[in-house]
Amino acid sequence: MEAPDQHNADSIIKLPRDVMQLILTFLPVKDAAKTATLSRQWRHNWRSNTRFVFDSDFGEISEEGDYGSKANALMLAIYRALLVHDGPVTKFMLKIPGLRPCPDINHIVHFLAKKGVQEVALIFIDNEDDGSWREMPSALFSARELSSLILKDCDFSRAPSWFLGFTKLTHLWLESVDADSGFYDDFLPKCPLLKHLTLFIRDTNAMESRGKAELVAPSLEVFKSNVWNICFRHTPLLSEVVIETQPEDYARSDFGAYNPDVAAVFASLPAIQKLFVSLEWMKFLASGNFPVMLPTRLCQLKSLENQIVLYHSSEARLLLCLIRSSPNLQRLYILLCDAPSSLPPTELIDSLQLLLEAECVPPASCFQCLEEFAIHGFTGTLIELDLVRLALTSAPQLRTLFIYPEVNSDLRKDVKVLMEVTRYKRASTEAEVRYVWKEQADTS
C-alpha cells in the first residue's frame, strides 16, 4: 500500500504548473490555501489562483452574537487572502451568509479592478433597517475588464462622469436593486456588447415619476425583469424576453396614465423567439390599445408562455392577437388565473367562440407549426374548452396537449371534462391529450 500512495503523491507534486492552476480554480479559498502543505512546488501556487470565491465554505455570520466583530474578522481574512495574491484575478464572488455590504467592499473592488478582474459577484442579504449601506461600490466603475457582473441588494447608483463604459461586459445580473433613469440613459449605452440582462428592481412603483423605462441595447439577446413599464427602443437581437412581475409591483389604477402601445412594444422585437408574459404585464398591455393582429408579425417567435385572466375580454383579445401575430409558434403555455370579482360584468366573457366571431379573424392559421400546448389551472369552463378545441382542430403538427386541472379539483368533474375533450376533432393524427393531475405533475 505504501508504493501506490507514494506514487500518487509524486504524481501530484510533478504536475505541470498550468494543471496545478486549473485544479486551484475549482477549490474553495480555504482548500486552495491548504495545498501549500503538499510540497515545495505547491507552496506558493495558491497565491496566483485566478478565482476567489468567498461563500459559505469560507465562513458565515449567524444571527446570534456580535455582528460587527464577526464581520470584521471575515473581512480581515479576505484582505489577507488578497494581499498575498500574485498575478491577475479573473473571478471574484462574495456570497457569505449573513454578510451585509460595508465601506470595506469598495476597497476590495478597487484592488480587484487593478488586477484586471473579469467576473464580479456581490451577493448580500436584504436589510430593511438602514439603507445607507446599500450604495453600490463606486470602484466597480473603474473595472474596465469586466465581462460579467452580479449584484444583489444594493443601489445601482448613477455612473460617475469619468465612467468610460464597460466595453467588454456581456452578462449583467441585478437583483433587488434600486436603479433610476440614469441606468437606462447613462449606463446601458456604455455597455455595447451586453448580451444578457437580468434586472429585478426593489420597487417598480417608484418608476412612475420617471416615466417609461427605455431600453437601448443593440447587442442584447436575453432580457429578464420585473419592470412592467418597459419600452424597447433599439433591441434588434433580443430573442428572449421574460417579464416576471408581482401584484405588488404596480397599482392597476395607474394604468390609464400610460396607455401602452402594444404594437410599438413588439415592433422593436424583430428577433424574439421566446416570450414569457406575467399576469401583471398582461394586464398592463391589455389596458392599452392593440389591433386584432400586430402590424409587425412575430415570425421568429417559437415559444409563448403567459399568465392570464381568460375571462377578462381585453386580456383574451390580447392573447388572440399575439397568437395571430406568431405564424411559426411551436410551443404555447398558458397559466389560467381566477377571474377577479372586482371586474365589472361588462368586462367579463364566458365564450371564446363569441369573441372569435366578433373579431372575424380566426387564429387557426397561426397554429400550423404548433407542436405542444399546455394549459394550467384548468376548471372546465366554456371559454377554456373553446381554447382547447381551437388548438386541437387547428394544429396539424400538434403532438401533445397537456391539461393541468386546478388544485383540489373534483375528480368526477375532471372525468367529464376529459370525456368532452376526447370527442373533439383533431387536425393532427398524432395529437395526444394528457390530463395531468397534481400527483402526476409532482412526480414528473
- Residue 119's φ and ψ, nearest 5 degrees, are -130, 125
Query: Percent of the chain at pLDDT above 70?
Result: 74
Least confident of 151-165, 302-316, 343-357: 343-357
Q: Which of 247, 183, 235 is nearest to 210 (CA)?
A: 183
- Residue 381's φ and ψ, nearest 5 degrees, are -75, 165
pLDDT of residue 11: 57
User: Is residue 7's pLDDT more than 50?
Assistant: no
Grid cell for residue 202:
426593489
User: Is residue 397's pLDDT more than 50?
Assistant: yes
User: Is residue 431's pLDDT more than 60?
Assistant: yes
Of residues 223 and 101, more confidence is placed in 223
Q: How confident is the model at residue 3 (pLDDT cuts 50, 70, 90)?
A: very low
* CB contact at 8 A, 301 and 273: yes
Helix (H, G, I), strand (E, B), or coil: what is residue 13? helix
pLDDT of residue 210: 53
**258-287 confidence digits (pLDDT tens):** 678 899 889 989 999 999 999 888 988 988
Mean per-residue pLDDT for 331-336?
94
Cell 369552463 belongs to 381
Mean per-residue pLDDT for 19-38?
56
pTM for this one? 0.83
Cα separation, 298 vs 372, in Å, equals: 18
Cα separation, 91 vs 146, in Å, equals: 9
**56-88 confidence digits (pLDDT tens):** 777 777 766 677 777 778 888 888 777 776 778
Q: How confident is the model at residue 132 (pLDDT cuts 50, 70, 90)?
A: very low
Mean per-residue pLDDT for 37-57?
64
Report for 45-49, 110-114, 407-411: range of highest mean pLDDT: 110-114
Least confident of 80-94, 242-256, 329-343, 420-434: 242-256
Would you tell me the crossing angle of helices 352-359 and 382-394 to the nearest 10 degrees?
Answer: 60
pLDDT of residue 427: 92
pLDDT of residue 45: 57
**What is the residue-wise DSSP string for 249-278?**
G--GGGGGGT--BHHHHHHT-TT--EEEE-
Helix (H) or strand (E) holding 428: none
* CB contact at 8 A, 367 and 400: no
Mean per-residue pLDDT for 49-58?
77
Whole-number average pLDDT of the chain:
80
Q: How confident is the model at residue 433 (pLDDT cuts 50, 70, 90)?
A: very high
Report for 179-193, 307-321, 337-351: range of highest mean pLDDT: 307-321
Grid cell for residue 4:
501506490
Q: How confident is the model at residue 1 (pLDDT cuts 50, 70, 90)?
A: very low
pLDDT of residue 240: 97
Q: How confident is the model at residue 4 (pLDDT cuts 50, 70, 90)?
A: very low
pLDDT of residue 253: 44
User: Is residue 24's pLDDT more than 70?
Assistant: no
Least confident of 95-109, 128-142, 195-209: 128-142
Cα separation, 65 vs 440, in Å, equals: 46
Q: How confident is the model at residue 143 (pLDDT cuts 50, 70, 90)?
A: very high
Cα separation, 433 vs 206, in Å, equals: 45
